[in-house]
Amino acid sequence: QVQLVESGGGLVKPGGSLRLSCTASGFTFSDYYMSWIRQAPGKGLEWVSYISTSSSTIYYADSVKGRFTISRDNAKNSLYLQMNSLRAEDTAVYYCARDPSAGHFDYWGQGTLVTVFS
Amino acid sequence: SYVLTQPPSVSVAPGKTAGITCGGNNIGSKSVHWYQQKPGQAPVLVIYYDTDRPSGIPERFSGSNSGNTATLTISWVEAGDEADYYCQVWDSSSDHPGVFGGGTKLTVL
């Protein structure tokens, strides 16, 4: 069965960095687009970043552009999100999600919590 | 950037029909996807490409999309349908294409 498992969340001070990972299993990872989506405490969903199957196309939300970097390693069935210059408003649960069509998200991980506070 | 507008809350009695709207400029020209999220859980896709249901999603869930409004309809509502619902589109004309609505809390009375 399809599984997406995020890791790497935690507590970090403003200005700090974290690297999130998402390990995929149960499907051919290299065949699917992937995205990161986040949810601040008590708030709605916010799409963060997208990467195509070959990493040739990458998009970011304006709120993270220039600070976050998405990447993937198809040989390791893994998706990453390097987060730099973190701010309090980046505090959220971060989900990785599988995208079969460059348009919607058919499977989601359980999320990893990132807390930015001083 | 493209904006999706949802009502913050909708209430419905068990056994009745709930409609959750998602407004956007000429949204009928885009594909709309819907997600259900229960407390403490990850979102689950319930409708994609306006009207399609993933396997395992009950037929009670249906969708429509025309003009400036897309609608998720839940027929014969059950207590277990109480959740937050989000609409989503992919704005392929944008360099930040992923867009979610603000979410609607469905309360089953």
Task: Tell me what pLDDT residue B37 has.
Answer: 98
Task: Tell me what pLDDT residue A118 has.
Answer: 82
Nearest CA in chain A to B48: A104
Q: How far apart are CA A92 and CA A44, in angstroms?
A: 10
Q: How far apart are CA B5 and CA A108, in angstroms?
A: 23
> Does A108 contact B102 at a Cβ distance shorter than 8 Å?
no
Q: How far apart are CA A34 and CA A57, in angstroms?
A: 11
Q: Best of A45, A60, A65, A110 to disrupt the B interface by mutation (most B CBs within 10 Å)?
A: A45
Where is B51: in which H helix or E strand? Answer: none
Read off the tokens for A20.
């999130």
Which string of DSSP letters, residue by residue, matches chain A? --EEEEE--EEE-TT--EEEEEEEESS-GGGSEEEEEEE-TTS-EEEEEEE-TTS--EEE-TTTTTTEEEEEEGGGTEEEEEE-S--GGG-EEEEEEEESSSS--SEE---EEEEE--
Task: Tell me what pLDDT residue B5 has.
Answer: 98
Is the pLDDT score of B63 beyond 90?
Answer: yes
Q: How far apart are CA A14 and CA A12, in angstroms?
A: 7
Task: Say yes or no: A16 contacts chain B, CB-CB below 8 A.
Answer: no
pLDDT along chain A (118 residues), means of 10: 98 98 98 98 98 97 97 98 98 98 95 95
Task: Tell me what pLDDT residue B69 has.
Answer: 98
Rounded to the nearest integer, the mean pLDDT of chain B is: 97
**For B69-89, how does the pLDDT look when each residue is reduced to its tens digit (9 = 90+)?**
999 999 999 999 999 999 999
**For A75-92, how does the pLDDT look when each residue is reduced to its tens digit (9 = 90+)?**
999 999 999 999 999 999
Q: Provide, as residue numbers in chain A, all residues whose Cβ is less than 8 Å from the Cβ of B65.
A: none
Tell me how close the Cα of B68 comes to any Cα of chain A, in angstroms.
Answer: 19
Give contacts of A 29-68 with B, CB under 8 A: 35, 37, 44-48, 50, 59-62, 65
Task: Tell me what pLDDT residue B18 has.
Answer: 98
Task: Tell me what pLDDT residue A59 has.
Answer: 96
HSE-CB of B54 using CA atoms within 13 angstroms: 15
Task: Tell me what pLDDT residue B13 has.
Answer: 97
Nearest CA in chain B to A45: B100
Q: Provide, as residue numbers in chain B, all residues whose Cβ is less than 8 Å from the Cβ of A102.
A: 90, 92
Q: What would the mean pLDDT of B39-65 be, rounded to a whole number?
A: 97
Per-residue pLDDT band at B55 (split at 50, 70, 90): very high
Per-residue pLDDT band at B2 (split at 50, 70, 90): very high
Per-residue pLDDT band at B109 (split at 50, 70, 90): very high
